[in-house]
Structure 1
Amino acid sequence: MRFVSLIGAAALLALGACSTLTGGEENAPAPAFNAAACVEKDFVIYFDEGQAELTDEARRIIDLQARDIHGCTIDSVRIIGLSDQDEGNQESSRQLSVRRAEVLAEYLATRASWPRSRFELLATGARGAVTAEGLDVPVRNRARIIAASHAP
């Protein structure tokens, strides 16, 4: 009987491991609340060139950051959309930056349940893409998210 119990326990552990491996991190339950995690988060999300749609990798990063501060009170969320100058004229570059910030805000409000009233959206367009020396600054196909939170 003891041998059967050990086999049963091993089988349950194996099944548990399989479910976490096949479900992925996005399906994992929210971690226990950790007050020490309620700090300012500053992270970058990259987009495909000329696009404002979130990639699978972007969603994964956002979900991990949101899960890390799950249970914290969100004080403010600043989203700064950027784009490259060579994506067109200044206005189209600014519009792409705006769309990137809006897409992120919608995702965070919907998926992470962060309060939309705490969001501030900024869009730089291509401003800052070229240095004073005339050098093009690469990799501006991104947005920066700065989320401040505290323990309830």
Structure 2
Amino acid sequence: MKRLIGVAGIAVAVGLSGCGVTRFMERSAVVTEPSPCTAKRFEVYFADSEARLTEPARQAIGMAAAQLQGCDIRKVQVLGLADARGGATANLSLSERRAQAVAEALTAAG
């Protein structure tokens, strides 16, 4: 019994000795926050056959605009999509209206 307690005591001492060492990260391993003025991509979803922005879409656009506030923006690309239902002409029109809605909301958000 005495021997079992001695072995357990040594095991605990060895286990605790590893906890007392503080290790610092190497300088090359330090992670920095990315600049807010880098290329951003975000997605906005619409209801079926709709070009009207939903509240979650408006929130996503507002958050993206807030992140880019103060950045020198030279180009914005907005891509509108539609699903395969409906005719090609109707889908093209819907895609354009969706892209326009997002572009207008981004402009309004600053």
TM-score tier, shorter chain, comes to 0.5 to 0.7
- Give the 5 Å matches for 1:121-136: none
Q: Partner residue of 2:91?
A: 93
Query: Which 4+ residue blocks in structure 1 deviate beyond 2 angstroms?
Result: none
Other-structure match for 1:118: none
What displacement does 1:111 show?
A: 2.0
Gaps of 5+ in 1: 1-34, 113-152
Aligned partner letter, 2:67: D
Offset, 1:69: 1.3
Q: What secondary structure is seen at the aligned counterpart in 1 of 2:50?
A: coil
Corresponding residue for 2:69? 70
Q: State the identity %.
A: 36
Q: The residue matched to 1:42 in structure 2 has which SS?
A: coil
Unaligned stretches of 5+ residues in structure 2: 1-33
TM-score with structure 2 length normalisation?
A: 0.67
SS of residue in 2 equivalent to 1:41 = coil
Q: How does 1:1-152 map to 2 (within 5 A)?
A: 36-86=35-85, 88-112=86-110
Superposed CA RMSD in Å reads: 1.6
Q: Distance in 2 between matches of 1:59 and 1:68?
A: 14
SS at match of 2:76: strand
Q: Which amino acid in structure 2 is aligned with residue 57 of structure 1?
A: P
Deviations 1:78-106 (A, max 9, x none): 001000111x1000000000000111111
Task: Give me the whole-angstrom Cα distance separating, in 1, the residues matched to 2:66 and 2:100.
Answer: 21
The size of the alignment, in residue pairs, is: 78
State how far apart, in whole Å, the 1-side matches of 2:64 and 2:105 are: 13
User: What TM-score does the superposition give when structure 1 sets the normalisation length?
Assistant: 0.49
